[in-house]
């Protein structure tokens, strides 16, 4: 890709609202962290605000597994392995940027730590009753730094010199044995187009048995531009819903939408030891990666294509007609997917189709529109670094020692 747009800071505590559309329009401007002061809450209120866990029926899924034995690669800004909610769940990772903020700096590993917490946070304190609990608290996180935070002064340099980091990171994670690849990032600029190296890396991951999950994009009120890597074949592209199961106004609506997951008012941990409330398809992608970890832990022999079909076949709150561009096939239900997976026989990965058999997961764009004709033509251009698709707004609670960040 020629470039990826820089994130813009959100100066609001809630996602934007807009009238419901009846047709697809176009453009995606993603947001990064924005911290607005708020009255602190007590530690015991953090769990009460994690509505996404209940919405995803995690209690039922945890009767079978909590993700033990599964590694989820988080390709992001890095992960704080010392965070009390993640300590012991983070494996040695890889930094494919090599410069920029370091541990202890404010602009380091914020987005990646947030995603890791949604996926595999285990809480802390007596009985681990404090802090954030992830959807797969016994899974391991493999951090791969492929992008810098929006507030990092070196971000522009990274975009210009580390354009292949995402493709390299996917391949590296797969070679380390990652079972799931979480991509809570994307290029959703007006000039976004497929990159041959990234697409090949995704197909490599699928062929090796790794499930690839990506954010659908935060451009719902900015024109719904196509987002990559979400639109690559075989990827589970995730849109966002609120606590009522309603499609979030900011969430991009496109033909590649596979499933939806919580993405509004999501509690996230931060390296500064505060907890924030954020929104974005980044969070939704992380929830689905955690759900996939549960399914793979229960049924390790299933191929990526089988896992993807399981999620779509068992999704709740299915749209009329079975699929739409807002929510895909509905909201992921890992407990139902685990139950249905017990009836499947693991396929031979070499004989199975690694990705989805058709060009698009859904009806695809209208052929007459012309705007997406290049989507299947993977031009050999250099890749770029994606924007982060999560906005954090409200400080909920600060615990532990001061960090100086």
In this structure, the number of other CB atoms found within 10 A of the CB of residue 397 comes to 21
144 pairs with which residues across the strands?
Answer: 75, 94
Q: Looking at the predicted structure, is the pLDDT value of residue 30 above 80? A: no
Of 269, 264, 294, the C-alpha closest to 281 is 264
Model confidence pTM above 0.85:
no
pLDDT of residue 191: 80
The pLDDT of residue 234 is 97
**Whole-number Å distance between alpha carbons of 3 and 334:** 36
pLDDT category, 44, cuts 50, 70, 90?
low
Over residues 82-131, the pLDDT tens digits come to 999 999 999 999 999 999 999 999 999 999 999 999 999 999 999 898 99
Mean pLDDT of 192-212: 95
CB-based contact 37:13 (threshold 8 Å): no
pLDDT of residue 222: 86
Query: What percent of the chain has a predicted confidence (pLDDT) above 90?
Result: 69
| Lowest mean pLDDT across 154-158, 269-273, 282-286, 401-405 | 401-405
Q: What is the C-alpha separation between 189 and 220, in angstroms, rounded?
A: 13
Q: Does residue 159 lie within any of the structural domains?
A: yes
Query: What value does the mean pLDDT take over residues 185-214?
Result: 93
Instruction: Answer for the pair 108, 77: CB distance below 8 angstroms, yes or no.
Output: yes
**Looking at the annotation, which residues are catalytic?**
76, 111, 282
pLDDT for res 389: 76
CATH code (residue 262): 3.40.50.200
Tens-digit pLDDT profile for residues 364-401: 444 333 333 333 323 223 334 567 778 876 677 655 43
- 401 in a domain, yes or no? no
What is the total count of domains within the chain? 1
Q: What is the rounded average pLDDT for all residues in the chain?
A: 82
Least confident window among 214-218, 323-327, 390-394? 390-394
Residue 399 lies in a domain: no
* Whether residue 360 has pLDDT greater than 90: no
Structural domain span for residue 207: 44-347
- Whether residue 196 lies inside any domain: the answer is yes
The whole-number pLDDT of residue 239 equals 98
The most confident of 31-35, 327-331, 375-379, by mean pLDDT: 327-331
Residue at 354 is within a domain: no
Q: Do residues 332 and 56 make contact, with C-beta atoms less than 8 angstroms apart? A: yes
Assigned domain for 212 exists: yes
- What is the crossing angle of helices 334-341 and 304-314, to 10°? 120
Reported confidence tier of residue 346, pLDDT bands at 50, 70, 90:
confident
């Amino acid at each position: 890709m020629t470039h990826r747009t820089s994130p813009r800071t959100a100066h609001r505590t809630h996602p934007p609202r807009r009238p419901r559309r009846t047709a697809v329009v176009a453009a995606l401007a993603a947001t990064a962290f924005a911290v607005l002061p708020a009255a602190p809450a007590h530690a015991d209120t953090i769990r009460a605000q994690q509505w996404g866990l209940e919405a995803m029926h995690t209690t039922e899924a945890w009767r079978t597994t909590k993700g033990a034995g599964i590694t989820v690669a988080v390709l992001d800004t890095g992960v704080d392995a010392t965070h009390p909610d993640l300590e012991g769940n983070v494996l040695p990772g890889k930094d494919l940027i090599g410069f920029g903020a370091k541990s202890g700096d404010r602009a380091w590993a914020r987005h990646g730590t947030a995603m890791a917490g949604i996926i595999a946070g285990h809480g802390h304190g007596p009985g681990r009753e404090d802090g954030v609990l992830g959807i797969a608290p016994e899974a391991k996180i493999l951090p791969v730094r492929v992008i810098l935070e929006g507030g990092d002064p070196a971000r522009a340099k990274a975009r210009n010199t580390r354009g292949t980091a995402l493709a390299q990171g996917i391949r590296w994670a797969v070679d380390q044995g990652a079972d799931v690849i979480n991509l809570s990032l994307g290029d959703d600029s007006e000039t976004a187009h497929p990159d041959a190296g990234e697409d090949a890396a995704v197909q490599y991951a699928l062929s090796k048995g790794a499930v690839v999950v990506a954010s659908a994009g935060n451009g719902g009120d900015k024109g719904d531009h196509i987002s990559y890597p979400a639109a690559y074949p075989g990827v589970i592209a995730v849109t966002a819903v609120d606590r009522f199961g309603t499609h979030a106004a900011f969430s991009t609506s496109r033909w590649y939408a596979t499933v939806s997951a919580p993405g509004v008012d999501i509690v996230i941990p931060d390296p500064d030891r505060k907890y924030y409330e954020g929104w974005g398809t980044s969070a939704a992608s992380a929830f689905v990666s955690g759900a996939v970890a549960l399914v793979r832990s229960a049924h390790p022999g299933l191929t990526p294509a089988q896992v993807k079909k399981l999620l779509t076949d068992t999704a709740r709150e299915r749209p009329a007609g079975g699929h739409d561009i807002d929510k895909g096939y509905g909201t992921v239900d890992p407990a139902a997917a685990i139950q249905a997976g017990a009836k499947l026989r693991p396929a031979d990965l070499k004989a199975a189709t690694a990705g989805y058999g058709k060009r698009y997961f859904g009806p695809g764009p209208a052929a007459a529109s012309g705007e997406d004709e290049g989507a299947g033509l993977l031009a050999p251009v250099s890749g770029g670094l994606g924007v982060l698709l999560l906005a954090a707004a409200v400080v909920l609670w600060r615990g532990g020692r001061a960090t100086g960040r």
